[in-house]
Structure 1
Amino acid sequence: MNNLPARLTSTALRAAVKAGPLTTNEDQMPDPGQINDTRWKKLPEPLASTTLARFDQDKCTANHGISKRAMCFGLSLSWNSMIHGGQEHPTPYASAERMRFLGAFEGVVHARTLQNFYRSEHKFQLNFARENPGVTSAAMAGTRSLLQAAELKGLSLKPVLEDKTLSDLPFLIACEQQGRYRSVDDKALKQVSDAMISSGKGVLAIYSDNQAHALGFSIVKDGKNTLLFDPNLGEFQVESTTLPYVIESLSDTNRLPLIGVQVFASHLR
């Protein structure tokens, strides 16, 4: 964590953790292993029956009296780092331990620092794009920012999807538009799941209307099952053949319409 760019100031790092308002027990995150605690967001199938451990990035900050702020990219990178470190065991006990670490004060600080770097780098890349107009420059800002943030965790990310119709976009369009209505493109979701399986481990980025969301994934050695980490929901083990349906279910549960999707394969640097 020593080679931070000068534009990421000490002020930005100190802002990784800010005191938040006093919270009640209802606002706090239960133990990740207690998957039936009523404080968790209710899960639809197929998620409910494939849950290994629960997590909620908003509630975990409340446990430490820290203000809420999205840190899904930071958490997904931290999770990937743990998986690459040989801690990928797909069992409820191992999953709960991973979630406890990510939700602990140290885990939150690490994730917030990565997320703050991602935001700072993203802002820098967008400013650069404004000075160098072009669809590619602006669209690549988020991708470049994530690649830079991953390096802080000793990870090398590689985007593996591209849209054949709109080649300037650094992600795959995963929806079909008909007037004001959108529907999920099933062929695109099949491409996404195939890319995840061939990548082995990495980050799945979902680009919605005005926001983005990141999840971690790891294909179990035999390829038949996939370990998924959603910072809003927890850790799940699903059959790899059901990935398109599961991705759509995660999108619906998070209320994030699937517009663009990118799979980033991860490797240790």
Structure 2
Amino acid sequence: MFLILVLSVGLNSGCVFAAGNSTTAQTSTNFIVGYYINPNVTPISEINFKDLKSAGITDIYVLVTNKNYLSVLPEAKEKADDVGIRTHAWVFPGFNHASQVAQMKIGVQLDMETYNIPAHLLQILTMRLATYGVTFSVTVKPEGWDGNQYYYLIAPLCDYIVPQLYVGDYKYGTTRLKNTAKKYNQIYNLYSILFPGKIVAGLETYQSDENVTPKNTSTLSAEINAVKPYTRGVILFRYGLSNFNGLG
């Protein structure tokens, strides 16, 4: 369901302003407030990074492929650096240039949406080794909501895991969201001595895949407040304007 979506940011959309209103008060020095950008839909040149910074965004995750990473990432990093936002490449399996991205001092997030995580551990490990010295994260389906995602196997191989806690798509409410984040915190903080701060919650800024109406400020704020005590941060997803059609 999620793999076919291309998520994008549009600075004139209600999603961004709702995100800004709800995240500014939540942001602390170490709490991540991330946003996904699809430059094929919203070119980097059209994004006002000062607005993102004012909205409380600390990190951006920019969708790139084998073909366009060299043309997209330098511009994104330069603009993000100017306002104090961290840059990450958002990539799917089959991306072959993680080491080159790391040499650009840009983090990498691998979008690994599968029901067979053990079969992909070597790929995750390979990308972890290729990104030594920068942040490496893995976004996956939510453990317990959508099968066994083997977070305990992923945890040692990345800086943080991003479960896609999309309450609208899974028909859950804020209470279930809070309890799930709390459970993740309790379970995966068994790793706390060796692997602290492992969970960053992925939250959608729209109602669901079936209803792409942007959530209002109070709804987003409630979701962020529900997970904040138990997570290292949040990353906000917005419904894309086109389907994901594979890596170039």
TM-score of the two chains, using structure 2 as the length reference = 0.33
TM-score of the two chains, using structure 1 as the length reference = 0.31
